[in-house]
């Protein structure tokens, strides 16, 4: 399992140090767990929701559309379905998403957004007790909805929730944390725990702009070229046809 560690405060946008990335290669840095199972049909990866009734349509449709369009347009990956989880899906290799109604998005002080957890690669296992049977957990506001239009917190919460979703779906494909590479220069969250070798594969140099990296400014919400290269490494047929 991999946990998304950047939980950001609206009033404290703490940024980690970033590496000076001067590489001209498009295959620029992502960490992959090559020992995990890969999806056999990456153009049609099943997704279901464990608690759809708790979500406002606007928030659910925004996350669904943002994730599906970002991955389809840039990698050819297809995340399909997005209905309520059936009994069969609760036992099968399906991306089962639980939206965790956690954050107070109506606070008059600092507002927290983001946070999540996911199994890495194709899996039928739950990601823990607080995933409520899901293989993925996305932390959202306690009311299951974005703040209303005009709220000072709306843009921030939408941006961070989208970024969290792209990050966690990256784990679901098999991408690992970029900042845990041994060569994560200038990143104070690096612990060097993801060592290149039999279990992990480094693609290019360390990528300070990866959506899988905790050490960026917090403004990144999309896949980097390195992230895309990582997906293509895991699923080479997508690169040939995209």
CA 65 – CA 86 distance, rounded (Å) = 21
Residue 149 in domain? yes
pLDDT digits (tens, 9 = 90+) for 223-242: 999 999 999 999 999 998 76
pLDDT digits (tens, 9 = 90+) for 10-56: 222 222 221 222 233 334 445 566 655 899 999 999 999 999 999 99
Residue 146 in domain? yes
Residue 11 in domain? no
Q: Which residues of 28-40 are buried (b: 16+ CB within 10 A; e: fewer)?
A: bbbbbbeebeebe
Total count of residues recorded for the chain: 242
Residue 93 in domain? yes
pLDDT digits (tens, 9 = 90+) for 126-152: 998 889 999 999 999 999 999 999 999
Number of domains in the chain: 1
- Domain CATH for 36: 3.40.390.10
Q: What is the DSSP string of 89-132?
A: GGGSS-EEEEEEEEE-TT-SS--EE--EEE-SSS--S-S-GGGT
Residue 174 in domain? yes
Residue 63 in domain? yes
DSSP state for residue 149 in the 8-state scheme:
T
Residue 204 in domain? yes
pLDDT digits (tens, 9 = 90+) for 152-184: 999 999 999 999 999 999 999 999 888 888 888
Higher pLDDT, 140 or 190: 140
Residue 235 in domain? yes
CA 7 – CA 102 distance, rounded (Å) = 12
> Measured at the alpha carbon of residue 198, what is the angle toward residues 31 and 229, in degrees to the nearest 5?
30
Strand-strand pairing, 112-113 and 8-9: antiparallel
Output the CA–CA distances (angstroms, integers) from residue 168 to 118, 204, 212, in the order listed: 6, 22, 8
pLDDT digits (tens, 9 = 90+) for 89-105: 999 999 999 999 999 99
Full residue range of the structural domain in which residue 171 is found: 2-6+16-241
């Amino acid at each position: 399992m991999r946990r998304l560690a950047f939980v950001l405060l609206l009033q404290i946008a703490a940024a980690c140090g970033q590496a000076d990335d001067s590489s001209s290669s498009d295959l620029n840095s992502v960490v992959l767990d090559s020992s995990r199972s890969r999806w056999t049909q990456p153009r049609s990866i099943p997704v279901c929701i464990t608690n759809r009734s708790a979500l406002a349509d606007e928030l659910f449709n925004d996350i669904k559309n943002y994730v599906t369009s970002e991955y389809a347009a840039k990698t050819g990956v297809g995340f399909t379905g997005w209905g309520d989880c059936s009994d069969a899906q609760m036992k099968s290799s399906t991306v089962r998403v639980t939206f965790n109604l956690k954050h107070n998005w109506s606070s008059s002080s600092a507002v927290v957004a983001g946070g999540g957890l996911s199994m890495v690669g194709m899996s039928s296992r739950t990601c823990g007790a607080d995933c409520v049977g899901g293989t993925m957990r996305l932390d959202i506001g306690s009311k299951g909805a974005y703040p209303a239009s005009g709220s000072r917190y709306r843009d921030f919460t939408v941006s961070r929730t989208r970024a969290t979703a792209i990050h966690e779906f990256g784990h679901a494909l098999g991408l690992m944390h970029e900042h845990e590479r041994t060569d994560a220069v200038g990143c104070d969250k690096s612990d060097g725990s993801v060592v290149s070798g039999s279990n992990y594969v480094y693609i290019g140099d360390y990528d300070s702009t990866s959506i899988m990296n905790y050490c960026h400014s917090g403004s990144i919400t999309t896949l980097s070229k390195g992230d895309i290269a990582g997906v293509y490494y895991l699923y080479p047929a997508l690169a040939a046809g995209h």
